[in-house]
Structure 1
Amino acid sequence: MNAGASAAARARQVGRLRWWQHIAAAVGVTTPGMAKARRQAGNWSAGAEGERRTAQLLAPLLREGWYVLYDLAVGKRANVDALLVGPDGQVFTLDTKLWSRKWRVRLVGGRLAHGDHDRDRQVDTALWETGEVSKALGVPVTPLIVVHNAPVDGGGFHVRGVAVFPANRMLELLRHNVGGRLNPREARRLAQLAEARLPSYVQ
């Protein structure tokens, strides 16, 4: 599945108005339900756009022996935005966030925050998804959160074992993690195993 496909589909689904809402909208009436649906659709659309931007940034890695799989199902109702297998056989899960540039991404009392908004649940989600991927593949997996738009304190930091960093540092950090160690056979094996055990996510 292409990057952002399931998020884009979800945006269309939650933003779809019922027949009577179309009539209300035509005469300039907005109900609380319509406003909520628009907000949710906007959030899903932003998620899809962030995932597409991440895919564009990751494209050069495909020529360097990396494998990248998008929108993989974990559990019954969750998905991994991207799973990366490095040319050395290291495995990463990548959670993409497209957050407003108005506020900084930072740590507040050991919790992930975007301005005054607590985002620590995103860390819990990344850790859970990574645990599921690790069980499926039988190898350690490193969770990453990449942030578009919003500035990230210190150019990146760790919170409870999850690396959080700005999108413009993503390739630099991933390449540094490999550090010249190559194991193309293991990388290929793990990518094939991920394709077999982690199906594409469908809303």
Structure 2
Amino acid sequence: MSTQNSAAARAAVLRRRARRALWRRLLALCGVRTAAMRRADASAARWEHGAAGEETTVRMLAALKARGWVIRHDLRLRGRRFNVDHVLCSPCGTAVVVLDTKSWHRGRPTSLIRGRVCCGTEDRHEQVEKVAKYARLVEAALELPGVAVWPLLVVHGSPVAGGQLEARVQGWDGPVYVLSPDRLVPRLAGAPKVRDPRRAALVAQRVDSVLLPYTETA
């Protein structure tokens, strides 16, 4: 995964769309930004911030490859447009991790408030619900009995209370873990106790057949 991940690509598309017309390009060359350009630039900046967090996660996860994990980034299910930030196949061949990266406000802690994940006082529980939904859809598409799909969310910037939260969402049996970056790799590295390279390879092959590289279109 390069710096042109889906979030970075989305930012580029937003900036390009705002400057598509000839007169807008001329204004941009003169250093003049229209209201549409300013809105697009603000939105693009948010996407670029998210892209930086995804790149950090990619670098961190690279350490798991030596332990037998198969790792993919920026994928989508056939027939669907949403993207999955990271998908990991365990070396034991019994688990697939659907991991979403978030970059939240550094000055606001992430915690559970009345059972909902919040950044400061802002409710962010819908992000937890989304990764659980992605995991549910991936699980159904893989059709691999005996292979568990785990939804995880890693938060950059905002300190996660205790380093780890166990959130619950409707429609998902079990917790959705919300982790600080320093907890991510140790938690995954410590999960599989045995290796089954043949089974792991078959799971990775199935993942590659069901999930496609995500592309952002202008």
Same fold per superposition (TM over 0.5): yes
Does structure 2 conserve the Cα–Cα contact (< 8 Å) formed by 1:67 and 1:84? yes
Task: State the secondary structure of the residue aligned to 2:83.
Answer: strand
Structure 1, residues 76-120: CA drift from partner, whole Å, max 9, x if none? Answer: 220110100111121101100122211111112211111122211
Does structure 1 conserve the Cα–Cα contact (< 8 Å) formed by 2:67 and 2:189? no
Where do 5+ consecutive residues of structure 2 fail to align? 169-174
Does structure 2 conserve the Cα–Cα contact (< 8 Å) formed by 1:72 and 1:79? yes
Q: 2:179 aligns to what?
A: 165
Which residue of the other structure, out of 189, 193, 197, is the alignment partner of 2:206?
Answer: 193
Does structure 2 conserve the Cα–Cα contact (< 8 Å) formed by 1:5 and 1:48? yes
Deviation at 1:70, TM superposition (A): 0.7
Q: Distance in 2 between matches of 1:4 and 1:82?
A: 15
- TM-score of the pair, normalised by structure 1: 0.91
What code does the residue aligned with 1:165 have?
L
Q: Distance in 1 between matches of 2:184 and 2:3?
A: 16
Does structure 2 conserve the Cα–Cα contact (< 8 Å) formed by 1:3 and 1:55? no
Which residue of the other structure, out of 81, 86, 90, is the alignment partner of 1:77?
Answer: 81
Q: 1:11 aligns to what?
A: 11
Quote the sequence identity (%).
39
Q: Distance in 2 between matches of 1:81 and 1:106?
A: 22
Does structure 2 conserve the Cα–Cα contact (< 8 Å) formed by 1:4 and 1:47? no
Which residue of the other structure, out of 142, 150, 153, is the alignment partner of 2:150?
Answer: 142
Q: 1:67 aligns to what?
A: 70
Q: 1:117 aligns to what?
A: 122
Q: 1:126 aligns to what?
A: 131
Cα distance 1:4–1:172, how it changes in 2: closer, same or farther (>3 A)? farther
Deviation at 1:4, TM superposition (A): 5.6
What code does the residue aligned with 1:11 have?
A
Q: 1:92 aligns to what?
A: 97
Equivalent residues, number? 202
Does structure 2 conserve the Cα–Cα contact (< 8 Å) formed by 1:3 and 1:51? no
Q: Distance in 2 between matches of 1:119 and 1:35?
A: 26
Instruction: Give 4+ residue runs of structure 1 displaced > 4 Å after superposition.
Output: 1-4, 22-31
- TM-score of the pair, normalised by structure 2: 0.85
